[in-house]
Amino acid sequence: MFNVIVTGITSFLTDMATEMVYPLIPLYLTALGAPPAILGVIEGFAESTASILKIFSGRLSDKLRRRKPLAIIGYSGSMLGRLILYISNAWWLVFAGRMVDRIGKGIRVAPRDALIADCTPEGKRGAAFGLHRAMDTLGAAAGVAVAIWLASALGRDLSRSDYQRIFLVSLIPAALGVVALFLVREPSCAHAVRKLPRLSFRGLPLKLKWFLLVVTLFALGNSSNQFLVLRSRSLGMSVLAVLAAYLLYNVVYGVLSYPLGHLSDRIGRKRLLVAGYAFYGLVYVGFAVTRRPEFVWPLFALYGVFSAMNEGLEKALVADIAPGEHRATFIGLHSTLTGVGLLPASLLAGGLWSLFGASAPFWFGGALGLLAAVGLAIVL
């Protein structure tokens, strides 16, 4: 549990830094004169390219039987990405900052999650991942709250330099998060093997194969959350109102992550994951049909319910059914599949928005979310 707490503190601080910046990026790009399609390009390439690293990082972690060094390198890379955002004055520099930040995430995620799984009994992994996700997401909520406070202090309409000041402040919790990670204890209970056995996909559990296939399908409709921010702004919400709605999402997500993770240990992962995908589909349909900004608030709250049912529980499920000696590899593969899907998903979202209007990408995402819920109910 010590490692879960320490990695949770690191994630709290890192996500605090991330969410001080993340919801402002589409608004900053608008201030730079970039269209929605550019947002799709930036988010799609940044998330997908970085996600390719997750399986390689996980595989390397399994080969080295070390988790901590790769996690530290990854968190340090994300800190560098925020520094690039601070000096950015054009969309291509924002692109570079996001790429470096996400590459850092690609390096750290699988080793960190394998570290949590290695020393957590199978019957308690839902609670462990739920606790970590709760600390991570409450850090995100704190970051959005700080962004709201800074934005209100700087004025109603932020200038380019105002955005850059907020980017600079975000470096402080990012650096503290890296320092905290040095306290992590390399797990002595990891699967100690002299030579890593050959990885064979043919021999994998059938449930894992089908689960990864459904996850890939879902990822094609799961575009960047920044399109939710952009959609809210297009409905006439102010910058502060958009940030406050995004804060509500993170609070709901953070508060529900641990109890839902613990519940999954008792009733199984399937019911909650199916319900989560269904929630996603309904929320996206809601963003497609709404024309009134006041409806954005309950939609963001319901989106928080989906997230609490989804990310931590998916990782716990993979950790449960993947072969132990290849655990980090398959946690990395899962993250890679969900991340790589962001490239076509975000490019499609940006293209559909530009060609058919703001509702189009949400109709598409909603349909795939509901389809994935049906698929998951069948294969698990």
Give the model confidence (pLDDT) of 293-341 as tens digits: 899 999 999 999 998 888 778 878 887 777 666 777 777 777 777 777 7
Cα dihedral across residues 126, 129, 134, 140: positive or negative: negative
> If you average pLDDT over residues 161-188, what whole number do you get?
88
- Which amino acid is residue 298, in one-letter code? P
Domain ranges of the chain: 2-185+204-379
Give the C-alpha separation, 334 to 150, whole Å: 36
Average pLDDT value for the chain: 84
- What pLDDT score was predicted for residue 192? 46
Q: How many CB atoms lie within 10 A of CB 39?
A: 26
Angle at 42 between CA 136 and CA 250, to 5 degrees: 25
Contact 25, 98 (CB under 8 A): yes
CA dihedral 189, 134, 219, 377 (to 10 degrees): 80
> If you average pLDDT over residues 77-82, what whole number do you get?
89
Give the C-alpha separation, 38 to 251, whole Å: 29
Query: For residue 320, what are the contacts with CB-CB under 8 A and spacing of at least 6?
Result: 122, 125, 269
CATH of domain 2-185+204-379: 1.20.1250.20
* pLDDT range class, residue 105, cuts 50, 70, 90: confident
Share of the chain above pLDDT 90, in %: 24
> Whole-prediction pTM value?
0.72
SS3 39: helix
Q: Which residues of 211-245 are buried (b: 16+ CB within 10 A; e: fewer)?
A: bbebbbbbbbbbbbbbbbbbbbbebebebebbbbb
